[in-house]
């Protein structure tokens, strides 16, 4: 499965970034082969709609699932019809993308059944 993990660097051992739309990058990992590539998030500096733009980018990368720390309503409503499963990683601890991948493979991450917050509507944070 192709899994996108929100990160703040450009490697598999980069720190996990709990922000979805404003993550610096996404690590796209094949959970079966372990092959990965890092992709800068084009929505990082968007004035608004970062969640939607990031979701569209993830879909273009061919991801079947994504792991982040939170999903706003617009991101959720963009990822859901694209058939991309959304998983939540723990946000209270410092993890690398590789550690998040290990949690995913061990089936220790829960899926987001709905948006996790009301959204920021273009507000910088």
Mean pLDDT computed over 114-121 = 76
CB atoms within 10 A of CB 117: 10
Instruction: Give 39's pLDDT tier (boundaries 50, 70, 90).
Output: very high
Structure confidence at residue 120 as a pLDDT band (50, 70, 90): low
* pLDDT confidence band for 121 (50 / 70 / 90): low
Q: Where exactly are the structural domains of the chain?
A: 2-111
Beta bridge partners of 115: none
Class level of CATH domain 2-111: alpha beta
C-beta separation of 57 from 75 below 8 A: no
pTM for the structure as a whole: 0.92
pLDDT band at 51 (very low <50, low <70, confident <90, very high): very high
- Residues 97 and 101: their CA atoms lie apart, in Å, by 6
The yes-or-no verdict on residue 124 having pLDDT over 70 is no
For 2-38, the pLDDT digits (tens) are 999 999 999 999 999 999 999 999 999 998 899 999 9
């Amino acid at each position: 499965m192709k899994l996108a993990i929100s990160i703040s660097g450009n490697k598999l051992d980069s720190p996990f970034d709990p922000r979805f739309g404003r993550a610096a990058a996404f690590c796209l990992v094949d959970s079966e082969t372990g092959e990965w590539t890092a992709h800068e998030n084009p929505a990082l500096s968007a004035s608004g709609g970062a969640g939607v733009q990031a979701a569209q980018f993830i879909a273009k990368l061919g991801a079947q699932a994504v792991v982040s720390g939170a999903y706003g309503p617009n991101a959720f409503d963009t990822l859901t019809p694209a058939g991309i499963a959304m998983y939540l990683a723990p946000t209270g601890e410092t993890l690398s993308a590789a550690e998040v991948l290990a949690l995913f493979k061990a089936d220790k991450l829960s899926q987001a059944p709905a948006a996790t917050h009301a959204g920021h509507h273009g507000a910088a944070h």
